[in-house]
Chains A and B, each alone.
Chain A
Amino acid sequence: MTTFEYAPALESRSIVTIKPEYGHFINGAFVDGVDHFATINPANEEILSRIALGNAEDIDRAVDAARVAYEATWSKMPGKERGKYLYRIARIMQERAREFAVLESLDNGKPIRESRDIDIPLAGAHFFYHAGWADKLDYAGLGHAPRPHGVAGQIIPWNFPLLMLAWKIAPALAAGNTVVLKPAETTPLTALLFAQVCQQAELPAGVVNIVTGDGRTGSALVDHPGVDKIAFTGSTDVGKAIARAIAPTKKKATLELGGKGANIVFDDAPIDETVEGIVNGIFFNQGHVCCAGSRLLLQENIAEEVLAKLKVRMAKIRVGDPLDKNTDLGAINSAAQLGKIRELATSGDSEGAQRWSPACSLPKNGFWFAPTIFTGVTQAHRIAREEIFGPVLSVLTFRTPAEAIEKANNTPYGLSAGVWSEKGSRILWATQQLKAGVIWANTFNKFDPASPFGGYKESGWGREGGRHGLTAYLKSAEAQQ
């Protein structure tokens, strides 16, 4: 060896046991499904297990179980006791963190470094944070003795399967709601492992129900008359369909939808950390991030320098086996998503933007896309307007701060934005002007249970995390039913 080639450093997958087939988790027990579909490892297309395809009857049973648990147990239990269940869950998730991490990387394709260091610890932290709210709801800002909505129907995406589960279930339970959750079609395994955690924590039957399936299963949940509150994270199109579906009803909804985050780099930015932030902004989790910094806005007088450094840095990104501890960029989650990324990247080519990727060899099997940037992008290009949800960065330039803001806000989305500058007043000015729910200044893609997250405009309704997120699962004592 003449150069420092890191030998493979594989995380052992022996820590997880995957059953050949899974049913739904309803009323505290696993029940067999009727039809099944396969969930695969996107890094090599290996079939991991066969998953029950939830139908209307399954949803019916789950909602009924949640209703009974709500009326009989959970809404009557003192907050202090509910909180103790959540603390138990948090602790068991910490105890079984490595198991969750390996399973998440197998089913999702994300690097073990990220599932181990980010997804799983944050998921546990969400339960720990919300556990503490359960007996303090009087201080949530809705007056004395606020009430839960009842049964929450929750539909989560495949990009952060366990973390999104935690974002949904933890506040719902803390507030006193019971839950029917549908994991994403391509990433159900950690939710099913979470069901086992609920059993270990001796959570009363029916408080958490997990019904696996696809879009039809989700629709059945949204349409079910026994559901009082919908929480959805996913695409803006599906979010809108849900909003239409519940318009005639009294159902409440929070929606965390798409984004096309601008990452604005001013000419006084701390350059090396900015380059790191750009990389983290778009290549974290293969770019499967609704709040990704997918539009890089560079001040024109430093654009060349930043791009040169960015390319050098991108050449260091290690693409490959998600279970290798040194992998930075894992597999694209599904063939369908890979197809969408390719289609949009091709549109970038045909609309005249310049594509660049570092030399990197991609594995033969599985779904892969090299880290890619497009330069010469204008606001009119599809790759500047549409969410690619992959490791593809569109680079634009600006001349003045006002132009940066104008371009950043020139999108129907409003989820996230980044600002890079060493000048405090400029950062505060920019954060004030940007129409986005989460703004990272001199950092990017940071998350915390205490920090509210959610978007303006077509990026959704409501917040998750912090006191703001909690209130989405509560109503004031006076509020009409």
Chain B
Amino acid sequence: MNYYGLVDGSDASLRNFLRTLSGVDQIGAESRAAMLATRSIKTTAKNWAIDLAISMVDLTTLEGADTPGKIRALAAKAVRPDPTDSTVPSVGAVCVYNDMVSIARQHLDLIGGAHVRVAAVSTAFPSGRASMAVKIQDTQDAIDAGAAEIDMVIDRGAFLSGRYLEVFNEIVQIRALCGKKTHLKVILETGELVTYDNVRKASFLAMLAGADFIKTSTGKVSPAATPPVVLVMLEAVRDFYEMTDRRIGVKPAGGIRNTKDAIKQLVLVNETAGPEWLNPGLFRIGASALLNDLLMQRMKMRDGYYPSPTYVTID
């Protein structure tokens, strides 16, 4: 086997490769992210950024209490985030558990949202604690139900105990299930990997194993998509592109609740990976509450005065 000509699928080659990665200095990475957070995005740039951010949202519900009704409402919101303003773009995808995939897909198709993709969390989300057979079945179910995107979790226990090849092989197997048609996002759960060195290592491991996207978090663990974590992942995809000529996407998820946070993420993308990554094909934001704040900010920019949450639908 050959993965981008960088590793051959053996434990030794994977270990050797990960060992060649440069370390990440925590304070340096955090201060770079903090500096980029001071970028002031106004007027035309802000209008553009808000619409771009909306189109990048993976509108997410991952609750034990999810019901078909809730999923249908979410789908409606995904297609027309602001029912009163048709210029608002649809979001990138809806992200649900795999038993909700078919409901989401059917409803989207029904309401003219064929262009909105359905993403399913998979591989015993969020902990990843199950046999490989279960993880495979989990993924297969989601694909069969019409998921266009699979958001799998890695086995953080294996990663932290140094069993990198196990983590790698799981991703390789899920990649094989997804084939060419289904997009694979690999969730690193950076809050459990703790160090930026680990984030960088896990990012490369996932990319080598065939991820289309690397994703920060499940949303069930805090901290999640902090700016420096996203910075480190953006540096990883930028470096991977240098090595392989292939652009891998990045999806921060968890903790991005308002427009300011979202725009900070876009600035990070712009100044780290570069403008080539500024589209929903290569950058998504996993969120639920964020969308309404983006809509409110959009109203403010449009109307010139501050809106009230009363005028934004709560689904």
Are B45 and A3 touching (Cβ within 8 A)?
no
Are B44 and A1 touching (Cβ within 8 A)?
yes
Considering the complex, give the chain B residue whose CB is closest to the CB of A325: B40
Scoring B residues 15 to 42 as 1 if CB is less than 8 Å from chain A, else 0, what string do you get? 0000000111101110110000011111
Residues of B within 8 A of A46 (CB): none
Query: Once the chains are docked, how many angstroms separate the CA of A5 from the CA of B42?
Result: 10
Q: Choose one: A4, A113, A271, A316; the contact of B49 (CB below 8 Å).
A: A4
Are A4 and B43 touching (Cβ within 8 A)?
no
Which of B81-89, B141-149, B206-214, B270-278 contacts its partner? B270-278
Are A276 and B28 touching (Cβ within 8 A)?
yes
Query: Once the chains are docked, how many angstroms separate the CA of A277 from the CA of B28?
Result: 8
Considering the complex, give the chain A residue whose CB is closest to the CB of B45: A7
- When A6-B45, A326-B39 are in contact, do A270 and B24 touch as well, CB less than 8 Å? yes
Q: In the assembled complex, how far is the CB of residue B41 from the closest CB belonging to chain A, in whole angstroms?
A: 6
Are B275 and A4 touching (Cβ within 8 A)?
yes
B235 interface residue per 8 A CB criterion = yes
Considering the complex, give the chain A residue whose CB is closest to the CB of B44: A7
Residues of A within 8 A of B45 (CB): 1, 4-7
Are A6 and B275 touching (Cβ within 8 A)?
no
Are A3 and B275 touching (Cβ within 8 A)?
yes
Are B29 and A273 touching (Cβ within 8 A)?
yes
Considering the complex, give the chain B residue whose CB is closest to the CB of A3: B275
| Interface size range on B against A | 20 to 34
Query: Once the chains are docked, how many angstroms separate the CA of A316 from the CA of B39?
Result: 13
Q: Choose one: B24, B48, B271; the contact of A272 (CB below 8 Å).
A: B24
Are A3 and B235 touching (Cβ within 8 A)?
no
Are A270 and B22 touching (Cβ within 8 A)?
yes
Residues of A within 8 A of B39 (CB): 6, 325-326
Residues of A within 8 A of B41 (CB): 6-7, 9
B80 interface residue per 8 A CB criterion = no
Scoring A residues 432 to 453 as 1 if CB is less than 8 Å from chain B, else 0, what string do you get? 0000000000110000000000
Query: Once the chains are docked, how many angstroms separate the CA of A325 from the CA of B25?
Result: 26
Scoring A residues 255 to 283 as 1 if CB is less than 8 Å from chain B, else 0, what string do you get? 00000000000001111111011000000
Query: Once the chains are docked, how many angstroms separate the CA of A1 from the CA of B278?
Result: 12
Query: Once the chains are docked, how many angstroms separate the CA of A38 from the CA of B269?
Result: 44
Q: What are 14 A-B pairs at a CB distance below 8 A?
A: A3-B278, A4-B278, A5-B45, A6-B39, A6-B45, A7-B42, A270-B22, A270-B28, A271-B22, A272-B22, A273-B25, A325-B39, A326-B40, A443-B28
> 4 closest pairs, A vs B, by CB?
A273-B28, A9-B40, A325-B40, A271-B22
